[in-house]
Structure 1
Amino acid sequence: MSNPVIVYSTADCVECDMVKKMLTEEGIPFEVRDVLKNEEYQEEVEKFGFLGVPVTVVGERAVKGFNPEVIEFIQSLKK
C-alpha cells in the first residue's frame, strides 16, 4: 500500500477502538493520532471537514466514524 493509513482517535473512544480493531483484523497497518494529545492532529482532522473522531485517512480520502462506509473503505484497502 503506497499511502499510510491514519486513524485520528482519542482514548476511551469506542468507535475509534472498533476502527482500530477492524484494521488490525484485516492486517492493515495504521498510525494512531490522538487528537487530545496533539493540537496539530485536531487541526488535521478539521482540514478534512470533521470535528470529531474517529477519522480514518488514506491519502486524500477521509472517512468519519465506524459505519458501513468505513467498513467498505477498510476492506477496499486490501485489494
Structure 2
Amino acid sequence: MNKQVIVYTTNDCIECTMVKQVLTMEGIPFEVRDVSTSAVNQREVEKYGFLGVPVTVVGQRAVKGFTNELKELIDFVRSME
C-alpha cells in the first residue's frame, strides 16, 4: 500500500499550518498540494468529499481538518513502517 502522505492546503490556512507542523514534529514526510493555485488539486480534494482544507490523505484514507482523526491517520502511517 502507498504510504505517501499528501496535505491539501492554502498559504493562509492556520489549520493547514498546524497539520504540517504536527506531521513534521512526528517525523512523517508529506507532500503539500495547494488548492488555491491548482484546479487539479481542488478536484482531488473534492473527490474525497471535501470542499475545504486542510485535507490529509494516505492511500484512500482522507481526514479533514486538525482533529483526532489526524492522530489516527498518523498512527496508521506508523503501522505501515
1:58 corresponds to: 58
> TM-score normalized by structure 2?
0.90
2:45 corresponds to: 45
Contact 1:6 1:33 (C-alpha < 8 Å) held by counterparts: yes
Which ranges in structure 1 are unaligned for 5 or more consecutive residues? none
Q: Structure 1 residue runs of 4+, over 4 Å off?
A: none
2:4 corresponds to: 4
Contact 1:26 1:75 (C-alpha < 8 Å) held by counterparts: no
Which ranges in structure 2 are unaligned for 5 or more consecutive residues? none
Contact 1:8 1:55 (C-alpha < 8 Å) held by counterparts: yes
Contact 1:9 1:33 (C-alpha < 8 Å) held by counterparts: yes
Q: Percent identity?
A: 63
Q: How many residues align?
A: 79
Contact 1:6 1:58 (C-alpha < 8 Å) held by counterparts: yes
CA displacement at 1:3 relative to structure 2? 2.2
CA displacement at 1:73 relative to structure 2? 1.4
1:24-78 CA-to-partner distances (Å, cap 9, x unmatched) read 0010100000000111000000000000000000001101000111122123312
SS in 2 for 1:3: coil
